[in-house]
Structure 1
């Protein structure tokens, strides 16, 4: 035991009290505070066929420009710190000492921490105070801990053992850059309101995952402080930082937006313009397709293919608005996911009555068109429903694979970062290795999402 018995007991009692306070704060029966809804669009608004990606981009152009600038600055400055450190680790005599000097690295990475990381810290701590922690909350805590440790090394380098003088400023930069990229991808590819339905589930998981990770880091710190070798405080701080770093869910934040972005690009190649992300998620569950009677005579082959996949297909006279709305409502009342395919001239109530509205219409700019539809296809593309269902299934499978990978990575990585192997092997996962592992995890998610670009939507089923 590194500490005397009295101090050890005080540390354990303090950790227990902090654990109880954390659990009561995040998991009490009191409902979390929600952000005020936008005046023009309430938070609980249903995914409407009119909420297009183009609207999302144009309404937030200034914020996306700022976010892009923060991402570029963070990436460049992080590389200036990361590359010399990596090269120095492989070839010690190649990199000059001044390029890996802690004070030089601190000067370079400070703009990343406070300029690039500003949206992460603001959103993360706002979510923590509202008791709905998200990916940014964990990223903010992890980067603050890593940055604080680096400043500690700068100020007291001579007092630390040689093996613990690495400031790990590059870790701060990498985390902020990866999380900024995830945020940028979400803003570019996915509308904020309504959110991608599956992303909302990921956010709910984050609300539980973040407090648990904080508690694991806390107890890792206490255990190393009490039982770890000297200098116990510095080692304990390092282990706590490692847990927070490896748990920073960059891969979790990328899982949905990257896959959805790749799917949207794939849809464009096959002549489909997907205007709402809810359609991309719901299409896989399509049980009933109602086709406008105006299109049915020309869509015989596509209807036969749909029927062969087990999807019920029926005609509806969209010109009789009340009758069409009633037919759609009856099928949705049974819990079935209903898709409507028309030519874009139907009453808006008909398209709103379906879970997914598809318009087969010729337009110069489908994304910016005033047509009220979730998906726009070419006028003669009667197989659009088949393509959309296949794309939806492939996309959701890809996202689930990404989420499972992120979960398994954290399930294995967090115990290693906490030092569970140290009593048996004497090995610990330092923050730099934790950072490299997080980068590799994110790369795996990116490569898996890219596979969607090779998804074939046409051909026989």
Structure 2
């Protein structure tokens, strides 16, 4: 009883400290005034050089093809581990080699470090800039479950009985769902890139010597409209990124308290379920925000 009480108090205190740290790190006053420049779908905006300037559609199409390749590999590797995990949870006996945790670890590792690399790269970069986004939540969810499962393979004795199962299929499935959304994002970016080239070419084609005054008037109007459009787009992007930052930060706080409260009041095996539920909070919110960010950018 005394140990349980101590663990409950320790969990609540740790959650409170983690909450303060998350809010202080990602929602401090200094960050509120800082320009929000990162978006998981805006690699081309952050690096407007070479292929983006010369041929923006080409670079985006290449990225789209890479996403498709990663998605195919992730699906092929995830299906067997996911089916095996579901069958095992249903209580159906399978050959030992199919449920061998090391086999699942070997299959899930390329999904984690190759297929899910875009989410990890975008999410880590956003966390370093203290502007977390959807990719940050997805990366955290996959990393937490993958590390927990790997530790359960290597040093299972440190976990309480009942909490030594591996959940590599969870991390792989999150990667598959995230990649399933990414190709649609690349298509919307390609459409935007092709449309952005049209206004710049029109004034040159319309500027004829015999229509100089009309051309100058049209160019002036177009320049004013372009400036207004850029200002409106910038404001909308700032609002969207601020909403994303606040939402992801709140989600991380919710995940922390979900983990802590399940350790205190949840059913056994407490640790394993707490890890899964808190990671599910991060993953579901990350996927929803990824869809929201895609729709907002169309």
Say if 1:32 and 1:130, in contact at 8 Å, map to a contact too: no
Query: Take 1:189 and 1:180, find their aligned partners in 2: how far apart are those partners?
Result: 15
Give the CA deviation at 1:7: 5.3
Question: Which structure has greater strand proportion?
Answer: 1
Q: Which residue of 2 aligns with 1:254?
A: 291
Q: CA deviation digits over 1:234-280, x for unaligned, max 9?
A: 45434433432333x324423575x79xxxxxxxxxxxxxxxx77xx
Say if 2:255 and 2:281, in contact at 8 Å, map to a contact too: yes
Say if 1:3 and 1:225, in contact at 8 Å, map to a contact too: no
Query: Take 1:7 and 1:220, find their aligned partners in 2: how far apart are those partners?
Result: 15
Question: Which structure has greater helix proportion?
Answer: 2
Q: Report whether the alignment pairs 1:245 with 2:283.
A: yes
Query: Take 1:245 and 1:215, find their aligned partners in 2: how far apart are those partners?
Result: 14
Note the 1:339-354 alignment, pairs <5 A.
Answer: none
- SS for the counterpart of 1:60 is helix
Give the CA deviation at 1:160: 4.5
Q: Report whether the alignment pairs 1:114 with 2:113.
A: yes
For CA contacts below 8 A with separation 6 or more, give which structure has more relative contact order. Answer: 2
Count of paired positions: 248
Q: Which residue of 2 aligns with 1:206?
A: 244
Query: Take 2:144 and 2:29, find their aligned partners in 1: how far apart are those partners?
Result: 30
* TM, length-normalised to structure 1: 0.46
- Inter-CA distance 255–74: structure 2 relative to 1 (3 Å threshold): same
Query: Take 2:292 and 2:25, find their aligned partners in 1: how far apart are those partners?
Result: 28
Give the CA deviation at 1:78: 1.0
- SS for the counterpart of 2:147 is helix
- Inter-CA distance 7–97: structure 2 relative to 1 (3 Å threshold): closer
- Inter-CA distance 199–77: structure 2 relative to 1 (3 Å threshold): farther
Q: Report whether the alignment pairs 1:219 with 2:257.
A: yes
Note the 1:143-158 alignment, pairs <5 A.
Answer: 143-157=142-156
Say if 1:2 and 1:225, in contact at 8 Å, map to a contact too: no
Give the CA deviation at 1:83: 2.3
Q: Which has the larger radius of gyration?
A: 1
Q: Which residue of 2 aligns with 1:102?
A: 101
- Inter-CA distance 226–16: structure 2 relative to 1 (3 Å threshold): same
Give the CA deviation at 1:70: 1.6
Query: Take 1:200 and 1:58, find their aligned partners in 2: how far apart are those partners?
Result: 27
Q: CA deviation digits over 1:380-432, x for unaligned, max 9?
A: xxxxxxxxxxxxxxxxxxxxxxxxxxxxxxxxxxxxxxxxxxxxxxxxxxxxx
Q: CA deviation digits over 1:298-328, x for unaligned, max 9?
A: xxxxxxxxxxxxxxxxxxxxxxxxxxxxxxx
Say if 2:135 and 2:290, in contact at 8 Å, map to a contact too: no
Query: Take 1:251 and 1:5, find their aligned partners in 2: how far apart are those partners?
Result: 37
Note the 1:65-84 alignment, pairs <5 A.
Answer: 65-84=65-84
Give the CA deviation at 1:23: 1.2
Give the CA deviation at 1:126: 0.8
Q: Which residue of 2 aligns with 1:182?
A: 181
Query: Take 1:90 and 1:13, find their aligned partners in 2: how far apart are those partners?
Result: 36
Say if 1:70 and 1:115, in contact at 8 Å, map to a contact too: yes
Say if 1:217 and 1:241, in contact at 8 Å, map to a contact too: yes
Give the CA deviation at 1:155: 3.0
Query: Take 2:252 and 2:293, find their aligned partners in 1: how far apart are those partners?
Result: 24
Q: CA deviation digits over 1:354-388, x for unaligned, max 9?
A: xxxxxxxxxxxxxxxxxxxxxxxxxxxxxxxxxxx
Q: Which runs of 5+ in 2 are unaligned?
A: 39-44, 197-229
- Inter-CA distance 57–96: structure 2 relative to 1 (3 Å threshold): farther
RMSD: 3.7
- SS for the counterpart of 1:253 is helix
Q: Which runs of 5+ in 1 are unaligned?
A: 42-50, 261-276, 279-461
Q: Which residue of 1 aligns with 2:13?
A: 13
Give the CA deviation at 1:139: 0.1
Q: Report whether the alignment pairs 1:132 with 2:131.
A: yes
Say if 1:125 and 1:137, in contact at 8 Å, map to a contact too: yes
Q: Which residue of 1 aligns with 2:172?
A: 173
